[in-house]
Protein backbone atom coordinates (compact mmCIF):
# COMPACT_ATOMS: atom_id res chain seq x y z
CA UNK A 1 0.00 0.00 0.00
CA UNK A 2 1.21 3.53 -0.81
CA UNK A 3 2.12 5.74 2.12
CA UNK A 4 -0.46 8.50 2.57
CA UNK A 5 2.37 11.07 2.72
CA UNK A 6 5.68 10.55 0.98
CA UNK A 7 8.55 13.04 0.92
CA UNK A 8 11.48 12.38 -1.40
CA UNK A 9 14.61 14.53 -1.04
CA UNK A 10 12.63 17.61 -0.09
CA UNK A 11 14.61 20.84 0.21
CA UNK A 12 13.50 24.32 1.21
CA UNK A 13 15.27 27.65 0.91
CA UNK A 14 14.10 31.13 1.85
CA UNK A 15 15.94 33.88 -0.03
CA UNK A 16 18.73 31.43 -0.98
CA UNK A 17 19.18 30.36 2.67
CA UNK A 18 18.79 26.61 3.06
CA UNK A 19 16.41 25.57 5.85
CA UNK A 20 16.67 21.83 5.16
CA UNK A 21 17.45 19.40 2.37
CA UNK A 22 17.24 15.71 1.53
CA UNK A 23 14.22 15.20 3.74
CA UNK A 24 12.78 11.80 2.83
CA UNK A 25 10.09 10.09 4.84
CA UNK A 26 6.98 7.96 4.46
CA UNK A 27 3.90 8.25 6.65
CA UNK A 28 1.47 5.34 6.48
CA UNK A 29 -2.29 5.71 6.55
CA UNK A 30 -3.58 5.76 10.13
CA UNK A 31 -0.16 6.47 11.60
CA UNK A 32 0.31 9.13 14.28
CA UNK A 33 3.56 10.81 13.36
CA UNK A 34 5.56 13.50 15.20
CA UNK A 35 7.95 15.97 13.61
CA UNK A 36 10.28 16.77 16.49
CA UNK A 37 13.16 19.19 16.79
CA UNK A 38 14.42 22.37 18.42
CA UNK A 39 12.82 25.74 17.77
CA UNK A 40 13.80 27.17 14.37
CA UNK A 41 14.84 23.83 12.81
CA UNK A 42 12.10 24.03 10.15
CA UNK A 43 9.26 21.92 11.57
CA UNK A 44 6.50 24.42 10.73
CA UNK A 45 8.02 25.02 7.31
CA UNK A 46 7.93 21.30 6.58
CA UNK A 47 4.32 21.01 7.79
CA UNK A 48 3.32 23.94 5.55
CA UNK A 49 4.88 22.15 2.57
CA UNK A 50 2.85 19.03 3.37
CA UNK A 51 -0.29 21.17 3.74
CA UNK A 52 0.31 22.82 0.36
CA UNK A 53 0.61 26.31 1.85
CA UNK A 54 4.07 26.63 0.29
CA UNK A 55 6.16 24.77 -2.30
CA UNK A 56 9.45 22.98 -1.63
CA UNK A 57 12.49 24.38 -3.45
CA UNK A 58 13.28 20.86 -4.60
CA UNK A 59 12.19 17.26 -4.25
CA UNK A 60 8.93 15.38 -4.49
CA UNK A 61 5.89 15.34 -2.26
CA UNK A 62 3.23 12.68 -2.81
CA UNK A 63 -0.11 12.58 -1.01
CA UNK A 64 -2.22 9.45 -1.20
CA UNK A 65 -0.48 8.36 -4.40
CA UNK A 66 -0.87 11.75 -6.11
CA UNK A 67 2.00 14.08 -6.98
CA UNK A 68 1.33 17.08 -4.72
CA UNK A 69 4.52 19.11 -5.29
CA UNK A 70 7.33 18.38 -7.73
CA UNK A 71 10.54 20.28 -8.47
CA UNK A 72 9.47 23.52 -6.81
CA UNK A 73 5.87 23.57 -8.04
CA UNK A 74 2.59 22.86 -6.29
CA UNK A 75 0.56 20.43 -8.40
CA UNK A 76 -2.19 19.64 -5.89
CA UNK A 77 -3.57 22.74 -4.14
CA UNK A 78 -4.09 22.71 -0.39
CA UNK A 79 -7.87 22.33 -0.58
CA UNK A 80 -7.54 19.18 -2.72
CA UNK A 81 -5.16 17.37 -0.37
CA UNK A 82 -7.83 15.96 1.97
CA UNK A 83 -6.23 17.51 5.01
CA UNK A 84 -6.94 20.02 7.74
CA UNK A 85 -4.49 21.95 9.87
CA UNK A 86 -4.63 23.48 13.35
CA UNK A 87 -2.14 26.28 13.86
CA UNK A 88 -0.33 27.31 17.00
CA UNK A 89 -2.46 30.47 17.37
CA UNK A 90 -5.70 28.53 16.59
CA UNK A 91 -6.98 31.39 14.37
CA UNK A 92 -10.46 31.61 15.93
CA UNK A 93 -12.60 34.67 15.11
CA UNK A 94 -13.41 36.42 18.42
CA UNK A 95 -16.58 38.07 17.10
CA UNK A 96 -18.13 34.78 15.88
CA UNK A 97 -19.80 32.10 17.98
CA UNK A 98 -18.29 28.64 18.33
CA UNK A 99 -20.87 27.30 15.84
CA UNK A 100 -19.96 29.99 13.31
CA UNK A 101 -16.22 29.44 13.81
CA UNK A 102 -16.60 25.70 13.31
CA UNK A 103 -18.79 26.15 10.23
CA UNK A 104 -15.97 28.17 8.65
CA UNK A 105 -14.26 24.79 8.20
CA UNK A 106 -16.89 24.17 5.52
CA UNK A 107 -16.38 27.46 3.67
CA UNK A 108 -16.29 26.84 -0.06
CA UNK A 109 -18.44 23.69 0.09
CA UNK A 110 -21.93 23.60 -1.40
CA UNK A 111 -23.60 22.24 1.75
CA UNK A 112 -26.94 23.78 2.76
CA UNK A 113 -27.08 25.78 5.99
CA UNK A 114 -28.81 23.02 7.93
CA UNK A 115 -26.20 20.46 6.87
CA UNK A 116 -23.39 22.81 7.90
CA UNK A 117 -24.92 23.13 11.33
CA UNK A 118 -25.28 19.34 11.60
CA UNK A 119 -21.64 18.80 10.65
CA UNK A 120 -20.51 21.49 13.10
CA UNK A 121 -22.56 19.93 15.89
CA UNK A 122 -21.24 16.45 15.27
CA UNK A 123 -17.63 17.78 15.21
CA UNK A 124 -18.26 19.62 18.49
CA UNK A 125 -19.68 16.43 20.02
CA UNK A 126 -16.66 14.44 18.84
CA UNK A 127 -14.46 17.00 20.61
CA UNK A 128 -16.68 16.76 23.74
CA UNK A 129 -17.84 20.39 23.66
CA UNK A 130 -21.34 20.02 22.18
CA UNK A 131 -22.78 22.42 24.76
CA UNK A 132 -20.53 25.37 23.86
CA UNK A 133 -21.84 26.18 20.35
CA UNK A 134 -23.46 29.48 21.33
CA UNK A 135 -20.45 30.98 23.11
CA UNK A 136 -17.74 33.23 21.72
CA UNK A 137 -14.04 32.24 21.95
CA UNK A 138 -13.39 34.88 24.64
CA UNK A 139 -15.85 33.03 26.91
CA UNK A 140 -13.90 29.75 26.71
CA UNK A 141 -10.88 28.33 28.52
CA UNK A 142 -7.67 27.68 26.59
CA UNK A 143 -8.42 23.95 26.39
CA UNK A 144 -11.96 24.59 25.13
CA UNK A 145 -10.60 26.93 22.46
CA UNK A 146 -8.22 24.19 21.31
CA UNK A 147 -11.19 21.84 20.96
CA UNK A 148 -13.08 24.41 18.88
CA UNK A 149 -10.10 24.68 16.51
CA UNK A 150 -9.97 20.87 16.33
CA UNK A 151 -13.72 20.68 15.64
CA UNK A 152 -13.37 23.20 12.82
CA UNK A 153 -10.57 21.08 11.31
CA UNK A 154 -12.76 17.97 11.52
CA UNK A 155 -15.83 19.40 9.76
CA UNK A 156 -14.24 18.96 6.34
CA UNK A 157 -13.81 15.23 7.14
CA UNK A 158 -10.08 15.19 6.38
CA UNK A 159 -7.97 12.04 5.98
CA UNK A 160 -4.99 13.86 7.39
CA UNK A 161 -4.90 16.09 10.45
CA UNK A 162 -1.90 18.40 10.83
CA UNK A 163 -1.21 20.03 14.20
CA UNK A 164 1.46 22.70 14.63
CA UNK A 165 2.22 22.90 18.37
CA UNK A 166 -1.34 23.87 19.26
CA UNK A 167 -0.97 22.86 22.92
CA UNK A 168 1.90 25.11 23.99
CA UNK A 169 -0.24 27.40 26.12
CA UNK A 170 -2.04 24.65 28.06
CA UNK A 171 -1.35 23.24 31.50
CA UNK A 172 -0.48 19.56 31.81
CA UNK A 173 -3.98 18.41 32.89
CA UNK A 174 -5.61 20.12 29.93
CA UNK A 175 -2.97 18.71 27.60
CA UNK A 176 -3.59 15.16 28.83
CA UNK A 177 -7.33 15.52 28.19
CA UNK A 178 -6.72 16.83 24.70
CA UNK A 179 -4.23 14.09 23.87
CA UNK A 180 -6.90 11.53 24.81
CA UNK A 181 -9.51 13.32 22.67
CA UNK A 182 -7.14 13.41 19.69
CA UNK A 183 -6.14 9.75 19.98
CA UNK A 184 -9.83 8.88 20.08
CA UNK A 185 -10.62 11.07 17.05
CA UNK A 186 -7.82 9.43 15.08
CA UNK A 187 -9.25 5.98 15.78
CA UNK A 188 -12.91 6.92 15.25
CA UNK A 189 -12.34 8.85 12.02
CA UNK A 190 -9.41 6.79 10.67
CA UNK A 191 -7.26 9.91 10.64
CA UNK A 192 -3.58 10.07 9.92
CA UNK A 193 -2.02 12.55 12.33
CA UNK A 194 1.09 14.67 11.86
CA UNK A 195 2.08 16.68 14.92
CA UNK A 196 4.83 19.28 15.03
CA UNK A 197 6.36 19.56 18.49
CA UNK A 198 9.59 20.45 20.28
CA UNK A 199 8.54 18.23 23.20
CA UNK A 200 9.34 14.48 23.08
CA UNK A 201 6.90 13.87 25.95
CA UNK A 202 4.08 15.33 23.87
CA UNK A 203 5.17 13.23 20.90
CA UNK A 204 5.21 10.12 23.08
CA UNK A 205 1.71 10.90 24.39
CA UNK A 206 0.24 11.34 20.93
CA UNK A 207 2.30 9.48 18.37
CA UNK A 208 3.62 6.07 17.44
CA UNK A 209 6.33 7.28 15.05
CA UNK A 210 8.60 10.29 14.78
CA UNK A 211 11.27 12.03 12.75
CA UNK A 212 13.73 14.31 14.55
CA UNK A 213 14.85 17.31 12.53
CA UNK A 214 18.19 18.85 13.49
CA UNK A 215 20.49 21.18 11.54
CA UNK A 216 18.49 20.87 8.36
CA UNK A 217 18.48 17.08 8.23
CA UNK A 218 16.55 14.15 9.66
CA UNK A 219 18.73 13.08 12.58
CA UNK A 220 16.67 9.94 13.22
CA UNK A 221 13.34 8.43 12.27
CA UNK A 222 11.27 5.41 13.27
CA UNK A 223 8.97 4.00 15.93
CA UNK A 224 9.06 6.29 18.97
CA UNK A 225 9.69 3.59 21.55
CA UNK A 226 12.65 2.28 19.60
CA UNK A 227 14.00 5.83 19.17
CA UNK A 228 13.67 6.51 22.89
CA UNK A 229 15.41 3.23 23.78
CA UNK A 230 18.44 4.14 21.71
CA UNK A 231 18.39 7.89 21.02
CA UNK A 232 20.86 9.28 18.53
CA UNK A 233 19.69 12.88 18.04
CA UNK A 234 20.53 15.62 20.53
CA UNK A 235 16.82 16.27 21.06
CA UNK A 236 16.05 12.72 22.20
CA UNK A 237 19.37 12.12 23.99
CA UNK A 238 18.80 15.19 26.14
CA UNK A 239 15.22 14.18 26.81
CA UNK A 240 16.08 10.61 27.81
CA UNK A 241 18.94 11.85 30.02
CA UNK A 242 16.42 13.91 32.02
CA UNK A 243 14.10 10.98 32.71
CA UNK A 244 14.11 9.54 36.24
CA UNK A 245 16.69 6.75 36.32
CA UNK A 246 14.35 3.88 37.39
CA UNK A 247 12.00 4.64 34.47
CA UNK A 248 14.95 4.58 32.12
CA UNK A 249 16.30 1.28 33.42
CA UNK A 250 13.00 -0.50 33.72
CA UNK A 251 11.27 0.40 30.49
CA UNK A 252 13.87 2.11 28.35
CA UNK A 253 11.25 4.71 27.49
CA UNK A 254 8.64 6.91 29.14
CA UNK A 255 5.63 4.98 30.35
CA UNK A 256 3.32 6.93 28.04
CA UNK A 257 4.99 5.89 24.75
CA UNK A 258 2.54 4.02 22.57
CA UNK A 259 4.22 2.38 19.64
CA UNK A 260 1.64 -0.36 19.53
CA UNK A 261 -1.38 1.97 19.29
N1 LIG B 1 8.41 32.85 5.12
C2 LIG B 1 9.67 32.82 5.56
N3 LIG B 1 10.61 33.64 5.03
C4 LIG B 1 11.90 33.59 5.47
N5 LIG B 1 12.35 32.76 6.43
C6 LIG B 1 11.46 31.93 6.99
C7 LIG B 1 10.08 31.91 6.59
N8 LIG B 1 9.44 30.98 7.34
C9 LIG B 1 10.35 30.43 8.15
N10 LIG B 1 11.57 31.01 7.95
C11 LIG B 1 12.82 30.65 8.64
O12 LIG B 1 12.98 29.24 8.52
C13 LIG B 1 13.56 28.69 9.73
C14 LIG B 1 12.66 27.59 10.24
O15 LIG B 1 11.44 28.16 10.72
P16 LIG B 1 10.24 27.28 11.26
O17 LIG B 1 9.87 26.29 10.22
O18 LIG B 1 9.18 28.22 11.71
O19 LIG B 1 10.92 26.53 12.50
P20 LIG B 1 10.24 25.70 13.69
O21 LIG B 1 8.81 25.52 13.39
O22 LIG B 1 11.00 24.42 13.76
O23 LIG B 1 10.47 26.52 14.93
C24 LIG B 1 13.71 29.86 10.68
O25 LIG B 1 15.04 30.30 10.61
C26 LIG B 1 12.76 30.89 10.13
O27 LIG B 1 13.22 32.20 10.44
MG1 LIG C 1 7.11 26.19 14.42
Q: What pTM did the predictor assign? A: 0.90
The fraction of the chain above a pLDDT of 90, given in percent, is 75
CATH of the domain at 67: 3.40.50.300
Q: Does the residue 215 lie in any domain?
A: yes
How many whole angstroms separate alpha carbon 135 and alpha carbon 73? 41
Between the CA of 87 and the centroid of ligand 1 the distance, in Å, is 15
177 domain-assigned: no
- Asked if residue 68 is part of any domain, the answer here is yes
Q: What is the CA radius of gyration of the chain?
A: 18
Q: State how far the Cα of 237 lies from the Cα of 246, in Å rounded to an integer.
A: 17
Ligand 1 midpoint to CA 213 (Å): 13
Ligand 1: which residue has its CA nearest to atom 16?
42
Q: Which ligand has an atom closest to residue 19 CA?
A: 1
Which pLDDT score is estimated for 257?
Answer: 42
- Expressed in angstroms and rounded, the spacing between residue 49 Cα and the centre of ligand 2 is 13
Is residue 134 included in any domain, yes or no? no
The answer to whether the CB of 216 falls within 8 A of the CB of 19 is: yes
User: Whole-angstrom Cα distance, residue 58 to residue 10?
Assistant: 6
Domain that holds residue 66: 1-82+194-261
CA distance 260 to 230: 18
pLDDT tens for 40-79 read 999 999 999 999 999 999 999 999 999 999 989 999 999 9
Query: Which among 218, 107, 209, 202 has a CA at the least distance from the CA of 164?
Result: 202
CA of 15, closest atom in ligand 1: 4
For residues 166, 168, 172, 173, the Cα torsion angle rounded to the nearest 10 degrees is: -40
Tell me how many domains the chain contains.
1
Q: Using one digit for the tens of pLDDT, what is the confidence trace for 14-23?
A: 999 999 999 9
pLDDT tens, 128-187? 899 999 999 999 998 899 999 999 999 988 999 999 988 877 888 888 888 998 999 899
Kindly give the number of the ligand 1 atom that is closest to the alpha carbon of 198.
Answer: 22
* Residue 65 included in any domain: yes
| Start-end of H helices in the chain | 43-51, 98-103, 113-126, 142-155, 172-188, 200-206, 224-229, 234-242, 245-251
Centre of ligand 2 from the C-alpha of residue 172, in Å: 20
Give the distance, in angstroms, between the CA of residue 116 and the centroid of all CA atoms in the same chain.
24
Amino acid sequence: MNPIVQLKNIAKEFHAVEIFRDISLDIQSGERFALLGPSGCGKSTLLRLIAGLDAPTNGELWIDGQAASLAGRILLPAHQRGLAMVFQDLALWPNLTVHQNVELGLAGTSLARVQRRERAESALSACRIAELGGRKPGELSGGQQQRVALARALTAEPKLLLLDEPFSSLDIANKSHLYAVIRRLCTDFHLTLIVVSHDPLEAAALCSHAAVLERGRIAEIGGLQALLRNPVSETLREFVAQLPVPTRKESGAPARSEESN
